[in-house]
């Protein structure tokens, strides 16, 4: 008989065990939720409850409007203060899911007489939904393996840095709720596929609709599910369950997704959605052929049926291709096309290429964001191959596709994180199952033992005995590998178990410590407020951004127009509440190129542009004093490139480099560079800080020329404490009708002449 490595109490009834297991599961999930929420609160504890980054400021502004004025005002909102003088139709150009969610929570809490401020709801929405994400990952992994793998997956996704980076408290962006919706939609899809139930298909469609309303990345689901269905068909695993699940999801989901104004008719008009339509048609054809086949036995009829089915499939496909060529169906948009043709964006759409989140990923990012999960991930995928049910095929496809996309764009690491957590949980859970199970294998010589399915231990799996696929010892080996064998399986002795369990426990502890360290150091910065450690170890808060935005808010008239690079548009609108020319929505490339041209041209050329757009203030970011490397001089080449795209005759990038091709800001800088508005604004009066010695730009590490730039058409209005934000006021036309440069020179001359002593004339006698 099979012996046990360690003794378990045998007098506990099965019911008690089941109840205790359920209780432990619920308690574990509650603790995981608590861990997920609390590990995202570092920023709130260190700084304050503030909205982070750039994009969330716009979402916050929209939510404020929704909470204050109601849903219809939000839905029909036209914002004249953005993209002056064009304005922006906000209602039709955003994904309203995030704001609607916050609005609903706000209204519910207020109905319960809990007066929570809208800002706190927005800041804490992401941590709250991360708990829901952990739960939905648990449900998803439960379908793959069992509850213990589910709990591991929930724990992993609760604290893994790859997901935390976009869902800390204060990161009020679409991804905050999108990952929860992604995992839950996938769970509903897998459940629909397993059961063949139209209820789960409808539920998947409803949550897909919510996802479409929440995030532009819904196209991932739109292509992932058809890919899965197509793979199942190609593998010969077509079944009625697949038909029911996919058809109910597609029919209801597509119609629902068209309700979002921003999506509109895209699901029937663009290439990104054609795969789903194609698979839908293919499924109908195959289902029909299966139906007819069951009624008819004639061989000839069957072969003809297959031929006509394939013919119709090819016809449908060529129909779609033909419509694409004719232009009825739009080709892949730039954002998605650049994921395949990686050189495309840099050449044709520099705005997409310039965003820092769109850069490719180097391997340290993978390790930093996923730690031990990154090497448990392939092991989990191999285990999926060994079981290979329908849902495992989904995880395999998801893992390959997500690895590619995460490698191409840093931002898409977020879509890789859930599948890594799930696979790693499956792998680790299998390992723990093997080594915790106390049953030892029977030491028979040359005789195969029975499968060790003991009724007392519910964590055991019954080993099915199936003949190995290949013959010979290699097949035997492979069969053992897949678990499809009746050879004895188990671990001898306590020491083996202890080694592996101790190892695993140590790795998990290291994982938790790593995640906590990464979250607190790297991903909890609001980026609106910076922190640095002084020489004496004290934390020094750098609050220049807010200082400058609030100066704007309090010292300028309400209808002031502020020009800055598009990165800061949302923040200016949110914190300073002033009109901006361009912001992070980047929907109008020519307008952004106009701003770029103004920044990179000499003052005489930029001034008419500024006056034409009624610009009152110009705002730039300059990090040269304290070493803040995300400033506008570092972004300057992108401004030049984007402007060059629209005015290639007037702006050429090589003119801003030295003769030897270097990008310099000191004496050796090219003339075009020194005369550009951005250069002058950044280094105006910079010399005065260094008290006679030569100024040093700490970011570029270069010494500035002795003579600083002179500004004629604009004058300095405000510079923040650490010189990070500099605001300049645009001078109105001269009262005497002179050119402003001449007027300024005249002023300078007059100032100089005052210092000379008056000439004494002797009166002629």
Partner 1 sequence: MAPKSTAAAKQPTTSTPSALHETSPAAAGNAVQSLLKAYNETTSPRLKLIDAFLVFLMIAGVLQFVYCVLVTNFPFNAFLAGFGSCVGQFVLTASLRSQVNPANRNEFKDVSPERAFADFALGSVVLHFFVYNFLG
Partner 2 sequence: MLLLPLLTLLALPFCQALISKDQAREELTKLAAANNGVVNVDEHTFELLTLPDREWSSTIVFTAMDPRRKCGPCKGFQPAYDSVAKAWTKVAQEHRNQHFFGYANFEDAMTVFQKVGIQSAPLVYLYPATEGPYKAPSGRTTPLVYDFSGGFDAEPLAQYLSRHTPVPIPYKPPVDWMKYATIGATLLIAVTALRVISPLLKSRWVWAIGTVLTILTMTGGFMFVRIREMPYTGNDGQWIAAGYQNQFGQETQVVGLLYGLLSASFLMLTMVAPYQTSPRRQQWQVWLWSAVICIIFSVLVSLFRVKNRGYPFKLLI
| In the complex, minimum distance from the CB of residue 654 to partner 2, in angstroms, rounded to a whole number | 4
Residue 511 near partner 2 by CB under 8 A: no
Options 52-60, 511-519, 539-547, 748-756: segment touching partner 2 (CB under 8 A): 511-519
Asked whether 616 and 555 are in contact (CB, 8 A), the reply is: no
**Least spacing, CB of residue 77 vs partner 1, in Å:** 20
- Using CB under 8 A as the binding rule, the residues of this chain from 330 to 359 that contact partner 2 are 342-343, 346-347, 359
Compare residues 19 and 652 and give the one whose CB is closer to partner 2: 652
- Does 487 engage in binding with partner 2 (CB under 8 A)? yes
- With b for 16 or more beta-carbon neighbours within 10 A and e for fewer, the 695-730 pattern comes to bbbebbebebbeeebebbbbeebbbbebbbbbbbbb
Nearer to partner 1, 80 or 322 (CB): 322
482 in Cβ contact with 438 (< 8 Å):
no
Dmax over CA atoms of the chain, in Å, equals 140
Residues in the chain: 765
Q: Give the integer Cα–Cα distance in Å for 416 and 398.
A: 8
How many helices and strands (H and E) does the chain possess? Answer: 33, 11
> Should residue 227 be labelled a site residue for partner 2 when binding is judged by CB under 8 A?
no
Question: Any idea what DSSP says for residue 575?
Answer: I
Toward partner 1, which CB reaches closer, 26 or 304?
Answer: 304
Strand partners, 729: 617, 715
Which stretches of the chain bind partner 1, using CB under 8 A? 195-199, 201-202, 205-206, 239-241, 243-244, 247-248, 250-252, 254-256, 258-259, 265, 268, 277-278, 280-281, 284-285, 287-289, 292, 294-296, 298, 300-301, 304-305, 307-309, 311-313, 315-316, 319-320
Please identify, among the stretches 151-159, 245-253, 493-501, 599-607, the one whose residues bind partner 2 according to the rule CB under 8 A: 493-501
Report what 396 binds from partner 2, partner 1, none; CB cut-off 5-8 Å by kind. Answer: partner 2
Shortest Cβ 319–partner 1 spacing (Å): 5
Residue-wise burial string across 426-446, b where 16 or more C-beta atoms lie within 10 A, e elsewhere: bbbbbbbbebbbbbbeeeeee
CB 610 within 8 A of CB 598: yes
Do 190 and 153 contact (CB within 8 A), yes or no? no
Cα separation, 399 vs 420, whole angstroms: 7
* Partner from partner 1, partner 2, none binding residue 241, C-beta < 5-8 Å depending on class: partner 1
Site for partner 2 in 618-677 (CB under 8 A): 648-650, 652-655, 659-661
Is the Cβ–Cβ distance between 724 and 620 less than 8 Å? Answer: no
- The item of partner 2, partner 1, none sharing an interface with residue 469, based on CB under 5 to 8 Å by kind, is partner 2
Residue 621 and residue 632 in contact, taking contact as beta carbons nearer than 8 Å: yes
Which partner in partner 2, partner 1, none is near 258 (CB below 5 to 8 A by kind)?
partner 1
The CB density around residue 749, as the number of other CB atoms within 10 Å, is 10
Instruction: Using the minimum distance from each CB to partner 2, give the nearer residue, 269 or 489.
Output: 489
In contact, 584 and 527? CB cutoff 8 Å: no
State which residue, 433 or 739, has the beta carbon closest to partner 2: 433
The Cα–Cα gap between 129 and 223 comes to 24
**310 touching partner 2, by CB under 8 A:** no
In this complex, which beta carbon is closest to partner 2, that of residue 353 or of residue 717? 353
Task: Give the helix ranges, DSSP H, for 196-218.
Answer: 198-214
The entry of partner 2, partner 1, none that residue 324 binds, CB within 5 to 8 Å by partner kind = none
CB of 606 to partner 2, least distance (A): 16
Q: Using alpha carbons, list the distances in angstroms from residue 517 to 51, 130, 160, 510, 725.
A: 22, 19, 11, 10, 31
Site for partner 2 in 358-387 (CB under 8 A): 359-368, 372, 374-379, 381-383, 385-386
Nearer to partner 1, 295 or 659 (CB): 295
Q: Which of residues 437-476 bind partner 2 (CB under 8 A)?
A: 441, 443, 469
Among partner 2, partner 1, none, residue 480 binds (CB under 5-8 Å by kind): partner 2
| Residue 30 interacting entry, from partner 1, partner 2, none, C-beta within 5 to 8 Å by type | none
From the list partner 1, partner 2, none, pick the one residue 473 interacts with, judged by a Cβ distance below 5 to 8 Å according to partner type: none
- List, in order, residues 6 or more apart from 555 with CB less than 8 Å away: 718
376 binds, among partner 1, partner 2, none (CB under 5 to 8 A by kind): partner 2
Which range of residues in 424-432, 585-593, 604-612, 692-700 is near partner 2 by CB under 8 A? 424-432
């Amino acid at each position: 008989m099979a012996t046990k490595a360690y003794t378990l109490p045998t007098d506990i009834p099965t019911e008690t065990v089941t109840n205790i297991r359920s209780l432990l599961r619920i308690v574990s999930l509650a603790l995981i939720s608590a861990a997920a929420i609390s590990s995202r609160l570092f920023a709130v504890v260190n700084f304050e409850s503030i909205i982070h980054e750039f994009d969330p400021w716009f979402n916050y502004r929209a939510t404020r409007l929704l909470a204050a004025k109601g849903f219809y005002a939000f839905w029909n909102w036209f914002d004249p203060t953005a993209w002056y003088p064009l304005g922006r139709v906000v209602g039709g150009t955003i994904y309203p899911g995030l704001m609607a969610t916050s609005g609903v929570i706000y209204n519910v809490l207020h109905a319960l007489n809990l007066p929570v401020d809208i800002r706190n709801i927005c800041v804490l929405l992401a941590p709250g939904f991360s708990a829901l994400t952990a739960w939905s990952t648990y449900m998803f992994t439960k379908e793959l393996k069992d509850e213990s793998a589910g709990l591991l997956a929930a724990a992993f996704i609760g604290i893994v840095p790859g997901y935390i980076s976009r869902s800390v408290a204060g990161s009020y962006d679409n991804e905050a709720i999108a990952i929860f919706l992604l995992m839950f939609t996938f769970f509903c899809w897998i459940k629909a596929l397993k059961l063949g139930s139209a209820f789960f298909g409808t539920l998947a469609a409803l949550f897909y609709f919510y996802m479409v309303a929440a995030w532009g990345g819904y196209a991932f689901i739109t292509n992932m599910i058809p890919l899965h269905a197509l793979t199942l068909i190609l593998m010969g695993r077509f079944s009625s369950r697949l038909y029911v699940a996919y058809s109910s999801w597609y029919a209801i989901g597509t119609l629902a997704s068209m309700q979002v104004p921003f999506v509109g008719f895209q699901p029937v008009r663009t290439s990104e959605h054609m795969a789903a339509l194609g698979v839908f048609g293919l499924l109908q054809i195959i289902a029909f052929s299966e139906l007819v086949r069951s009624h008819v036995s004639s061989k000839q009829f069957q072969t003809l049926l297959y031929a006509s089915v394939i013919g119709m499939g090819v016809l449908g496909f060529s129909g779609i291709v033909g419509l694409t060529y004719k232009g009825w169906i739009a080709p892949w948009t730039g954002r998605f096309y650049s994921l395949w043709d990686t050189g495309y964006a840099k050449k044709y759409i520099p705005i997409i290429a310039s965003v820092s989140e769109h850069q490719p990923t180097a391997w340290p990012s993978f390790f930093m964001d996923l730690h031990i999960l990154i090497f448990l991930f392939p092991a989990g995928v191999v285990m999926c191959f060994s079981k290979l049910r329908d849902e495992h095929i989904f995880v395999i496809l998801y893992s390959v596709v997500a690895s590619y996309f995460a490698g191409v764009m840093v931002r898409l690491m977020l879509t890789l994180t859930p599948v890594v957590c799930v696979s790693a949980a499956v792998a680790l859970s299998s390992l723990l199952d093997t080594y915790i199970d106390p049953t030892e294998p029977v030491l028979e010589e040359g005789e195969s033992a029975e499968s060790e399915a003991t009724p007392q231990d519910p964590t055991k799996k019954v080993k099915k005995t199936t003949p190995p696929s290949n013959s010979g010892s290699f097949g035997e080996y492979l069969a053992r590998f897949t678990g499809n064998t009746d050879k004895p399986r188990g671990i001898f002795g306590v020491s083996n178990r202890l080694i592996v369990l101790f190892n695993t426990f140590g790795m998990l502890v290291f994982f938790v410590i790593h995640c906590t360290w990464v979250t607190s150091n790297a991903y909890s910065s609001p980026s609106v407020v910076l922190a640095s450690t002084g020489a004496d170890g004290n934390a020094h808060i750098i609050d220049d951004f807010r200082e400058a935005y609030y100066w704007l808010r309090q010292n300028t008239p309400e209808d002031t127009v502020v020009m800055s690079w598009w990165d800061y548009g949302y923040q200016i609108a949110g914190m300073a509440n002033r009109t901006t020319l361009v912001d992070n929505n980047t929907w109008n490339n020519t307008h952004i190129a106009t701003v770029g041209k103004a920044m990179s041209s000499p003052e005489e050329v930029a001034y008419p542009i500024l006056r034409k757009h009624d610009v009152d203030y110009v705002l730039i970011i300059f990090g040269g004093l304290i070493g803040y490397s995300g400033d506008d001089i570092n972004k300057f080449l992108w401004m030049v490139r984007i402007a060059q795209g629209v005015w290639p005759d007037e702006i050429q990038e090589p003119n801003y480099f030295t003769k030897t091709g270097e990008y310099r800001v000191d004496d050796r800088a090219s003339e075009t560079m020194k005369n550009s508005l951005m250069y002058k604004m950044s280094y105006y009066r910079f010399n005065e800080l260094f008290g006679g010695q030569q100024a040093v730009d700490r970011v570029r590490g270069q010494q500035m020329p002795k003579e600083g730039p002179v500004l004629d058409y604009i004058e300095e209005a405000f510079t923040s404490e650490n010189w990070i934000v500099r605001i300049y006021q645009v001078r109105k036309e001269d009262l005497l009708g002179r050119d402003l440069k001449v007027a300024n020179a005249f002023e300078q001359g007059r100032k100089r002449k005052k210092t000379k002593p008056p000439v004494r004339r002797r009166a002629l006698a």
